Structure 1
Amino acid sequence: MGKKRKKASVNQQKIARSQRMQNLVVFTILGVAVALGLFAVIQAAVGGDEVDTDQFDYENQPVLGDKNAPVKIVEFGDYKCPVCKRFEAQVFPRLKKDFIDQGKASMYFINNPFIGDDSVTAALAGEAVYRQNPEAFWKFYSTVYRNQGPEQQRWATPELLIQLAKKEVPGIDVKKLKEDLESQADLKAVDKDKEIARKLNVTSVPTVFINGKPVKDVFDYEALKKMIEEEAKKAR
């Protein structure tokens, strides 16, 4: 009887271990699937047809380069988005060197803050910097991305954003920036950007348009380059 009970106990332990392993595998697969799905949502660019470029409201957006350049590049982004950070680090410098600095293209940034409440805080800071000193905006843009915290944490606080502006962005009245963040002085501008994104069905970041044409893969630089060159030829 004792041996039978011992044997039954051993079998039960084996079954329990097997079930735990199965559960672990299932949860791991589900976790990976969710992570990949979220990554795809963040990374994927908008597909579909060319959009009406008037909807971008170019005149009220931060711009880098010659406003009269034949090609206009528009990025919709969220400062908390890790894929946007990758775009700023890997693609933006090449676009600047190859096209913007050459007068062939200009680049615009439109806020699409949706990851967290502090996404809006960062967007407000960007708008406040732009309103103070348009030329300082792109330095702030790069500085925030390069100091980006974990996506799940609330890191884009007014204190950090003010500190970054003070340390890294010349020509900014830090006291005025603090006041603007406290009063949310640029909330209408951020809300307007969000409305533009909604009307154009921009549901992911970074999303890039070239003369109103959506880019399918923002990290395929050769495809980006080809699109820009084709648009530049049309303008000749």
Structure 2
Amino acid sequence: MSKFVLLAIPVIIGIASGLFLAFYLEPENSTKTILTESKLIQNGSPILGSPDAPITILEWGDYQCTYCYKFHQETLDKIKMQYIETGKVKLVFKDFPLNGPDSILAAEAAFCANDQNKYWEFHDKLYKNWAGERTGWVTRQLLDSFATKIQLDSNQFNDCIDEQKYRKHVLALYDFGKGIGIDATPSFLIFDDEKILKIRGNQPVEVFIKTIAEF
């Protein structure tokens, strides 16, 4: 499997161009990081789509982020229909909780739902019920209501949150993203086993189509 070396390249109109066998970003400490495709995917969400899809979209998001919400409302369904459901692309979500404790709590709750094999159902509930950045809408009462609606075992779900089972996991995802140069949400790394392209921000679906066509 090819390895990706992260150094520095400029971001142009929201897309950072990839190079054959290498992707260049510069973390704050300017240290080169060598990654494999599997390392980029590991510890994120369950794969959405076929695990055998040749292209991966790795989304870095925050459940309170305005532009993450817009991506999920305006763009994701089109990508699902054209690429994920046809087996061309798989999607993995990784948390990058920029907006404080409520974003961390929401991310923890999604992983608690994953313990009952309902990560994506819970994830979608969060974005469908988005109510702004730092407005206090992410509450235990709301998370409990989502758990009930998607038929989770409430006791298991609440025990998971109460013991902060996934707190370190979510914070580690943030640190990993920051370490490879992620600095905004949403951000996307699109890659196969030879190259990576980066999209920064909620770009129009045409940007994703153009980027995927480069593989």
TM-score of the aligned structures, taking structure 2 as reference length: 0.78
Distance 1:59 1:119, change over 3 A: closer
Identical aligned residues as a percent: 26
| Cα shift at 1:55 | 3.9
Contact 1:45 1:206 in 2 (8 A): no
Q: In 2, Cα distance between the equivalents of 1:94 and 1:60?
A: 22
Contact 1:45 1:205 in 2 (8 A): no
TM-score of the aligned structures, taking structure 1 as reference length: 0.71
2:203 match: 219
Task: State the one-letter code of the partner of 2:166.
Answer: D
Q: CA RMSD in A?
A: 2.0
Matched, 1:198 2:182: no
1:18 match: none
Q: In 1, Cα distance between the equivalents of 2:89 and 2:163?
A: 35
Equivalent residue of 1:215, what SS? strand
Distance 1:45 1:178, change over 3 A: farther
Equivalent residue of 1:121, what SS? helix
- Structure-to-structure mapping, 1:92-111, within 5 angstroms: 92-111=76-95
1:187 match: 167
- Structure-to-structure mapping, 1:45-194, within 5 angstroms: 47=16, 50=23, 52=35, 53-58=37-42, 60-133=44-117, 136-167=118-149, 169-170=150-151, 172-194=152-174
Deviation larger for 146-155 or 90-99: 146-155
Gap regions ≥5 residues in structure 2: 1-12, 25-34
Aligned residues: 184
Task: State the one-letter code of the partner of 1:186.
Answer: Y
| Cα shift at 1:89 | 0.8
Name the structure where strand makes up a greater proportion of residues: 2
Q: In 1, Cα distance between the equivalents of 2:15 and 2:109?
A: 26
Q: In 1, Cα distance between the equivalents of 2:116 and 2:179?
A: 28
After the TM superposition, which segments of 4 or more aligned residues of structure 1 sit over 6 Å from their partners?
none
| Cα shift at 1:177 | 0.8
Equivalent residue of 2:105, what SS? helix
Equivalent residue of 2:214, what SS? helix
Contact 1:116 1:154 in 2 (8 A): no
Equivalent residue of 1:103, what SS? coil
Deviations 1:147-192 (A, max 9, x none): 112313222112211211211x24x222111111111011122122
Name the structure where helix makes up a greater proportion of residues: 1
